[in-house]
Structure 1
Amino acid sequence: MTTTYAALLRGINVGGSRKVPMADLRALLTGLGLDGVRTHLQSGQAVFTAAHGDEDSLAADITAAIEKRFGFPVDVIVRDHAYLKTVADACPFPADTLEGRQLHVTYFSAPVDAARFAEIDPAAYLPEEFRLGDRALYLYAPDGLGRSKLAEALARPRLTKGLIATSRNWNTVVKLVEMTGA
């Protein structure tokens, strides 16, 4: 039985550095024996099917292959369709009434608990808000991520220590659910 996954690559093709052309990424993933490889945008999303492995071993294989091919490390999180759909369905904010740039999901490599973010005073950042989910953090930033003070606070290295964390706007969250469900 095959499973459809999305690979979320962190920090590539941003500001002209750490370039990973999508055609090369597709070829690399195909070379790893993954099937039906497709990419979305230039910012590091790939969808594929695999009959072997699990999320962590697939992420490790992709990470190693990218470093070997491109010469720099890239953090990778792999999640299956069921997980991606569950995250989208569990959104605590009214996604259908918001613009995609106002709502983001940060995917984590492992579960996180509220204690990790206890130093964040939610009232200090209103109207911005965040909520934790299953290996995910939902961020409502009405003025977008680029202007978000809360996003800046949440990204402090001590809060994400020991984790891979990578964020996607809501449009991409929905697109990945669609792509992995097809």
Structure 2
Amino acid sequence: MTTYVALLRAVNVGGTGKLPMSELRAMCESLGFAKVRTYIASGNVVFESKLSETSVKSRLERCLETSTGLQVGVLIRTGVELAAVLADNPFRSAAPNRTVAIFLDAPPPTDTLAGVSGQQTEEIALGKREIYVHYGNGMAESKLKIRAAKAGTARNMNTVAKLAEWAAA
């Protein structure tokens, strides 16, 4: 069994994609996932499965659409991969609540940094299948736009650390 972390895109953020975490847990269990746990209300779930990452992703996306009528993007990482995201954070000395990993399905395009607009004090670095951003002045006033991040989903380093901890347990 592989431990996976599923990160749902645009769930319970800004009044969109309302999904109680109890429903998400039930969906995951209906798919045969084991040891299902959700973390905070923004669509983070840790579980075990014998399926491949691709199968986990497609089955969970289909189940979400069938159950809620919403097309919810799901980004998947193994527990080992999530631990590596945390370890590879180039902004480890920065406040974890002001640093995010934007999770993508594939490596960031080579022209990712060229497609950035509105950058002020933010620092950006590319990971394996992530884009790291440190918002020195916080996210509230940021005008940063990263074209390559459009289909991704962001989690701050506090959330990444908790999910990595759960996945390792």
TM-score range with shorter-chain normalisation? over 0.9
TM-score normalised by the chain length of structure 2 = 0.92
Please, which of 92, 108, 113 is the counterpart of residue 109 of structure 2? 113
Is contact 2:131-2:149 (8 Å) kept?
no
Matches of 2:136 and 2:34, distance apart in 1: 38
Q: Which runs of 5+ in 2 are unaligned?
A: none
Matched, 1:174 2:161: yes
User: Which protein has the bigger helix share?
Assistant: 1
Query: What amino acid maps onto 2:52 in structure 1?
Result: D
Q: Which residue of 2 aligns with 1:16?
A: 15
Backbone CA RMSD of aligned residues: 1.7
Structure 1 residues 70 and 119: CA distance shift in structure 2, 3 A: closer
Aligned residue for 1:82?
80
Q: Runs of 4 or more off by more than 4 Å in structure 1?
A: none
Deviation readout 1:117-164 (Å, 9 max, x if unpaired): 32437xx735311000100011010122222223xx21x4xx346xx3
2:99 and 2:131 map into 1 onto residues whose CA distance is 11
- In 1, the alpha carbon distance for the partners of 2:2 and 2:31 equals 15
Cα separation, 1, equivalents of 2:130 and 2:15: 28
Matched, 1:134 2:128: yes
Question: Contact 2:101/2:155 (CA < 8 Å) preserved in 1?
Answer: yes
Check conservation: 1:38, 1:46, Cα contact below 8 A: yes
Identity of aligned residues (%): 37
Q: 1:26 is matched with which residue?
A: 25
**In structure 2, which of residues 137, 140, 156 is the aligned counterpart of residue 146 of structure 1?**
140
Give the match's secondary structure for 1:83. helix
Amino acid at match of 2:110: A
TM-score if structure 1 supplies the norm length? 0.86
Alpha carbons 1:102, 1:142 under 8 Å: kept: yes
Structure 1 unaligned spans of 5+: none
Q: Paired residue for 1:61, among 59, 62, 86?
A: 59
> Aligned residue pairs: how many?
169
